[in-house]
Amino acid sequence: MSATGQEKDLTPPEISARKGKAPLVCLTAYTTPIARLVDPHCDVVLVGDSVGMVLHGLPTTLGVTLDMMIMHGQAVRRGLERALMVVDMPFGSYEESPEQAFRNAARVMAETGCAAVKLEGGEVMAETIRFLTGRGVPVMAHVGLTPQAVNAFGGYRVQGRGRDAERIRRDALAVAEAGALAVVLEKVPETLARGITEEIAIPTIGIGASSACDGQILVVDDMLGLFGDFRPKFVKRYAELGQAAEAAIATYAREVKERRFPAAEHVFGEGPKTVNGEEAA
């Protein structure tokens, strides 16, 4: 069963209707196997542009292309049965104009089968969000720390402290009024995230924000302990699969060098053994 107990794909209106109700469970996914693992437990699966750093070794998300997002979106779509799939619009694919954003969002939806796209920015992107939603493209917004603006921010710093809180609040209000189905609040003070959640009419999805948000999202490789280049404060490691994988690989390498692998049970004899007339494994 899915996180909501439903047996069909969740829709954008159903996600929006979860405002103030049971928290939305959200994770990223970039591949079919991971999508299959997270689907029974998640309401929203985001094909995030974090794929550039997590799987492609890029230093930031800025080098991610539209073709990369579509390829990973297609892979994730094959692994989902219930969760709502959202695909990130990469840097440079939507900022120029609402028309550019629509062309690229329409391509992403057509080629991946996703139900919504996500784009970064608050007040400055409100017109684009209104343009897209008015033309049948559901949009998840993203304010606070927006990784595509890392150079403008001077790094991955907390946003919305002190007087800057009003800027983040205005951004959240603007995207809600423009028709976004939900908004990600990233790396903002807890009290600010709590206040925004109480004020706006659409669900807030926190990442480094507040437990009072209407949902939470993490990068799946972070929470599984598979990505170790850096470890944000807001990430809880629910497993250390990277360490387990490294240990397994080291054991394999040792057994190969010692000629302990493959063993007799892993190789084949001269003639096939048969069981009831059929070749056995």
Question: Which positions are catalytic?
Answer: 186
Q: Is 203 helix (H, G, I), strand (E, B) or coil?
A: coil
Q: How far apart are CA 138 and CA 179, in angstroms?
A: 8
Structure tokens at 100: 């550019």
Q: Which amino acid is at 180?
A: A
Eight-class DSSP state of 232: -
- Nearest CA-CA partner of 30 in 63, 80, 75: 75
DSSP notation for 9-76 = ---HHHHHTTTTSSPEEEEE--SHHHHHHHTTT-SEEEE-TTHHHHTT--SSSTT--HHHHHHHHHHH
Measured between alpha carbons, how far is residue 137 from residues 155, 188, 246 in Å? 31, 27, 42
Peptide bond into 203 cis (omega under 30): no
All residues at 6 or more sequence positions from 214 whose CB lies less than 8 Å from its CB, including other chains: 18, 19, 20, 21, 23, 24, 182, 197, 203, 204, 205
Return the biggest CA–CA distance within the chain. 79
